[in-house]
Chain A
């Protein structure tokens, strides 16, 4: 991966991406540029390649030979995975895990307050509820000081109250100037949060654009079918 000065701020350039696992093509993106801004929702059916796409953008998955992911200078991404196991230690230790720099105690205290789990700081982190773990993960992401936040299904399996709290945190991230790319199955949530949409199906980016027009009238047949299925399911 190469940083290119010529790219616009928050622009990600994907070239000849093909991720194949066990003979199955997970991602196949010949050539596209993604302009991040505000909250972007990455939607698509199960197995479409959304999670792999987020991992690719974060550098967790390397592109194939000949493929490249190029970032505008200064992009610092943080990734919160759908399933984030905690190490057998306190919330305080887990939220401070950071491979780039050791956050100060004041920073950790502030973030614990912000995500609303300061009262749990001495509790074993792996015994937290799913919602508390998600808040911890978001706090940990905040301590990485990213300007791009990648969230994989951040409210899956959460109750409505916790979902609302997590959504509020996502809005706060965006309001603070950190662009957010979120994968989600919940179209109602996408409508509430997202400014723009990336529709992925069969490992390909099929459609991208502003949120409202997409919901009003998807341009591609695949997106139209997906929206119909999801609406019927709702």
Chain B
């Protein structure tokens, strides 16, 4: 085991091309999905937090359920939609990075929406009358509500990143784990472990942990600075 770790560190210190390529694909897929998921999830969370409508509770329960749906289920559904005989088969996105982004977007969006709704709903109770008395439109008060909660919302976005970068089921099914094309850190770890190439799997695991740790540190730093400045 010690040798496996030594070899893993050697791969990392030598900037192994294979490792770097896989890390870049992972980051490309997960960050793209996170950006899109945040762009959709935050306004969706804000809308759910501020609006009253028939069926709101059912929609919240649905989104909360989607937050924890197994990734392989999303993978299979996206596979069916993107496969040649599926409704979006003509796009040719199956076994491509684009298809993987779609799958991870569907994983991150409900998570960001559900977590942000909880944060924004509390803030809405506090600011509702002020925003309405200042004649803000729906878009206006949603924007300022998100701005007011921006530091708390970093947790929702961080959770979205963790969900995206650590999942294996959906990208395996939709991406196909093709070397130098759609192979991500998680699918490569699964593959290399089954092949017995533990140093390679460990090297990727270390990078994966480092990315999650870095994201957490950044979030913590942003919140700390913000709390010092804005309380």
Contact = CB atoms under 8 A, between A and B. Distances in A.
A81 B148 CA distance: 19
B227 to A, nearest CB: 10
Interface stretch (B32-40, B112-120, B132-140, B160-168): B132-140
Given A81-B129, A87-B144, A87-B147, A124 B135 contact: no
Contacts of B133: 55, 58, 60, 78-79, 81
Given A55-B129, A87-B127, A89-B147, 15 more contacts: A60-B133, A78-B133, A81-B130, A85-B130, A87-B147, A88-B148, A88-B149, A88-B226, A88-B230, A89-B148, A89-B230, A97-B136, A97-B144, A126-B231, A140-B134
A99 B135 contact: yes
B230 A85 contact: no
Given A99-B140, A127-B231, A87 B132 contact: no
Tell me the dominant secondary structure on chain A's binding face.
loop
Contacts of B147: 87, 89
B129 A144 contact: no
By CB atoms of chain B within 10 A, which of A58, A85, A127, A140 has the most? A85
Contacts of B149: 88
A5 interface: no
Interface in B137-157: 137, 140-141, 144, 147-151
A100 interface: yes
A64 interface: no
Contacts of A88: 148-151, 226, 230-231
Nearest to B140: A99
A98 interface: yes
Contacts of B135: 98-100, 144
Contacts of B226: 88
Interface string B215-231: 00000000000100111
A62 B135 CA distance: 14
A140 B134 CA distance: 9
A84 interface: yes
Contacts of A140: 134
Interface of B: 126-127, 129-137, 140-141, 144, 147-151, 226, 229-231
Contacts of B230: 88-89, 124, 126-127
Contact of B134 (A55, A126, A127, A144): A144
Given A88-B148, A99-B140, A60 B132 contact: yes
B151 A85 contact: no
A106 B126 CA distance: 30
A58 B130 CA distance: 12
Contact of A99 (B129, B134, B150, B229): B134
B134 A124 contact: no
A56 to B, nearest CB: 12
Contacts of A126: 230-231
Given A124-B231, A127-B231, A87 B148 contact: yes
Nearest to A76: B135
A147 to B, nearest CB: 15
B129 A60 contact: yes
23 contacts: A60-B132, A78-B133, A81-B129, A81-B133, A84-B130, A85-B130, A87-B144, A87-B148, A88-B149, A88-B151, A88-B231, A89-B148, A97-B134, A97-B144, A98-B134, A99-B134, A99-B135, A99-B136, A99-B137, A99-B141, A100-B135, A124-B229, A124-B230
Interface string A53-81: 00100101000000000000000001101
A55 B148 CA distance: 24
A145 to B, nearest CB: 12
Contacts of B126: 85
Nearest to A90: B230
Contacts of A89: 147-148, 230
Nearest to A79: B133
A77 to B, nearest CB: 9
A45 B141 CA distance: 33
A150 to B, nearest CB: 9
Nearest to A127: B231
Contacts of B136: 97, 99
Nearest to B136: A99
A62 B217 CA distance: 47
A81 B128 CA distance: 12
